[in-house]
Amino acid sequence: MTIITAVPPPEAPGAAAAAVPGGTARGVPGPVRFVGRALRTLWSNGKARTGMIVLGLIIVVAVFAPLLAPHSPTAATFAPYKGPSGTNLLGTTGNGQDVFSQLIYGSRISLIVGLVAGGAATFVAVTLGLIAGYRPGPVDEVLGFITSLALVIPGIPLMIILAAYLQSRSVWTIVLVVAFTSWATGARVIRSQTSTLRTREFVTSAVFSGERMLRVVFREILPNMTSLVAASFFAAATAAVLAEASLEFLGLGNPATVSWGTILYAAEQQNALLTGQWLMVLAPGLAIVLLMVSFTLINFGVDALSNPRLREK
């Protein structure tokens, strides 16, 4: 990701091609080395490093949730509406479930929704952006119009309407709704970068050497925009985490799912703030903030890769 963007564009296809044989020679597959190199460069950026550490911690918590959580997140084994105590660090819900264990298990849903919805939105953004940028004329005009329409239609109200109509209370509905509503910014950025790259010499020479269109787009143009793709992924993932929490807070999620959004929903339903259980509101919100901040911080590093002027000196 990183070296390629740092290299001036005309040399970039050479660099992209060199990554593959270099990788096989050492016995490590190309993509693995590619990701490793990207992570190493991001690590050198202070903000991105902080973001990666925080994200890493959240991933560890999500993976080892059964080991870390002191109680079951769903079993109603305690007295309801209890304040914080030694056994229940953050108190209990109205059903007598341990909020602290719910907080630990909730990281799984937020991570999955963020990563999957972010990935899906990025997929749509990259596909539409590449097509529009590489095919000027009517195709570009139509896709450009759809993109600008999606940009001006307010995302959160549209998500709320869609989720309310769909009636399905599954996390995957939320993933789908978020992916459907948050691809437009990325698509616009990738479209404009594609149309700039399309006229560069290395693309023209690839076309004249008889390469197929798909190969030109995916092997010559796409590797030069890896940082833009990554940036739109983290932006969409941030939006997805917020959207998931918002929809669940509104009661449009499945209340039986254990997630940060449903803890907040339950807290609102039982008037936790008025009964003094303010930790039940504070803790899941802070967790959401931490996850979103980690994505944003990583994105600072990614931004600096594509725009040298933003690099830290």
- Site residues (vs another protein, CB under 8 A): 145, 148-149, 151-158, 160-162, 164-167, 185, 238, 242, 245-246, 249-252, 264, 268, 273-274, 278, 281-282, 285, 288-289, 292-293, 296-297, 303, 307, 309-310, 312-313
What letter represents residue 101's amino acid? Answer: S
For residue 187, give every residue at least 6 positions away whose Cβ sits within 8 Å of its Cβ, in sequence order, or none: 124, 125, 126, 128, 129, 132, 143, 147
* Smallest separation (angstroms) from another protein to the CB of 211: 34
Please name the residue that has the structure tokens 């959401």: 288
**Residue nearer to another protein on the CB measure, 124 or 263:** 263
* Smallest separation (angstroms) from another protein to the CB of 138: 15
Q: Take residue 26 and report the two structure tokens written for it.
A: 């050492």
* Smallest separation (angstroms) from another protein to the CB of 77: 27
Work out the angle between the directed axes of helices 30-43 and 279-306 (0-180°, nearest 10): 110
* Smallest separation (angstroms) from another protein to the CB of 241: 9
* Smallest separation (angstroms) from another protein to the CB of 19: 29
User: CA-CA distance, 136 to 125, in Å (whole number)?
Assistant: 17
**Residue nearer to another protein on the CB measure, 181 or 257:** 181
Dihedral sign (CA 301, 305, 311, 312):
positive
* Smallest separation (angstroms) from another protein to the CB of 281: 5
Residue 98, beta-bridge partner list: 92
* Smallest separation (angstroms) from another protein to the CB of 22: 34
Work out the angle between the directed axes of helices 99-134 and 46-63 (0-180°, nearest 10): 130
**Residue nearer to another protein on the CB measure, 76 or 293:** 293
Long-range Cβ pairs for the range 175-180 (8 Å, 24+): 175/113, 175/116, 175/117, 175/120, 175/240, 176/120, 177/243, 177/247, 178/113, 178/117, 178/121, 178/236, 178/239, 178/240, 178/243, 178/244, 179/117, 179/120, 179/121, 179/124, 179/236, 179/240
Please name the residue that has the structure tokens 């973001």: 51
**Residue nearer to another protein on the CB measure, 18 or 164:** 164
User: CA-CA distance, 220 to 112, in Å (whole number)?
Assistant: 31
Residue 98 — φ and ψ, nearest 5°? Answer: -80, 120
* Smallest separation (angstroms) from another protein to the CB of 278: 6
**Residue nearer to another protein on the CB measure, 19 or 166:** 166
